[in-house]
Chains A and B, each alone.
Chain A
Amino acid sequence: GQNIDQPTEMTATEGAIVQINCTYQTSGFNGLFWYQQHAGEAPTFLSYNVLDGLEEKGRFSSFLSRSKGYSYLLLKELQMKDSASYLCAVRIYDYKLSFGAGTTVTVRA
């Protein structure tokens, strides 16, 4: 089976930084995705890491260490609209993805 672990919930203040960790043990690995999902909506793509290191996209950054089976998503300058669920997903092969349970981030004023 596939094991993808991430915290269930996190709370932070508007303007702050939050880091969401994801550890994985999977039968295959062809990259790791982070998605944002608001309740009742489909996930939207945030980032994709296939090599070790940090990928930065505006206020969002994602890091990968394949040897450690570890990734994190960093959200900077938090805004109220960033309150959502963040999903870590490992690409097992082709485009078969295995998702973590998601981390619900609540941004407070």
Chain B
Amino acid sequence: GAVVSQHPSRVICKSGTSVKIECRSLDFQATTMFWYRQFPKQSLMLMATSNEGSKATYEQGVEKDKFLINHASLTLSTLTVTSAHPEDSSFYICSASSKQQGGEKLFFGSGTQLSVL
């Protein structure tokens, strides 16, 4: 089945630094990828929709200058948390849609736990 690889799985950084998270579709081309954030014991909140070759569409309340999304190819989207602060500490998950026989399916990456000190 389709696989979405997300790296790193865990990152600890100092306040004020930037962190890049990669999301790759390993065996399919993903024209659309999604980035979610999840705080402890809460559900996934969609941050942005990433379309290959175009600007990402951000959800209301998500700062596009702080959470930079690049979808340069059909298999790679990156999320960069710029000037990270402790309140940005969260679990970040990407997902990618794949058109397959039987319909379109959505696959999730394994998530990245970000801790900002």
Residues on A facing B (Cβ under 8 Å):
33, 40-45, 87, 89, 94-102, 104
Asked whether, in the complex, the Cβ of A95 is within 8 Å of the Cβ of B32, the reply is yes
Report the Cα distance A107→B49, complex, angstroms. 36
Contacting pair B108 A42 (CB below 8 A): yes
* B contact set with A: CB distance below 8 Å: 6, 32, 34, 41-46, 49, 91, 93, 95, 97, 104-106, 108-111, 113
Q: Which residues of B contact A43 (CB under 8 A)?
A: 44, 93, 108
Residues of B within 8 A of A98 (CB): 46
With A40-B91, A42-B93 known as contacts, the answer to whether A97 contacts B110 (CB < 8 A) is: no
**Contacts A40-B111, A94-B32 hold; do A99 and B106 have CB atoms under 8 A apart?**
no
Residue from B46, B108, B109, B110 in contact with A96 in the complex, judged by beta carbons closer than 8 Å: B46
Grouping DSSP codes into helix (H, G, I), strand (E, B) and loop, the B interface class, with mixed when no group exceeds half, is: strand
Q: How far is the CB of B103 from chain A (nearest CB, A)?
A: 9
A99 to B49, CA, bound (A): 15
A41 to B91 CA separation, bound complex (whole angstroms): 9
Closest Cβ neighbor of B6 among chain A residues: A42
Interchain CA distance A45-B4 in the complex, whole Å: 13
Are the C-beta atoms of B34 and A95 separated by less than 8 Å?
A: yes
Question: What is the minimal beta-carbon distance from B27 to any residue of chain A, in angstroms?
Answer: 17
Contacts of A104 in B (CB 8 A): 41
**Residues of B with C-beta under 8 A to A102:** 41-43
The closest CB in chain A to the CB of B10 belongs to A40
Which of B42, B49, B104, B105 makes the CB contact (< 8 A) with A101? B42
Q: Which residues of B contact A40 (CB under 8 A)?
A: 91, 111, 113
Shortest CB distance A34–B (Å): 13
Say how far B56's CB is from chain A's closest CB, in angstroms.
13
Q: Flag if A95 contacts B109 (CB, 8 Å).
A: no
The 5 closest A-B pairs by CB, nearest first: A42-B108, A95-B97, A99-B43, A101-B43, A99-B44
Q: Are A100 and B34 in contact (CB under 8 A)?
A: no
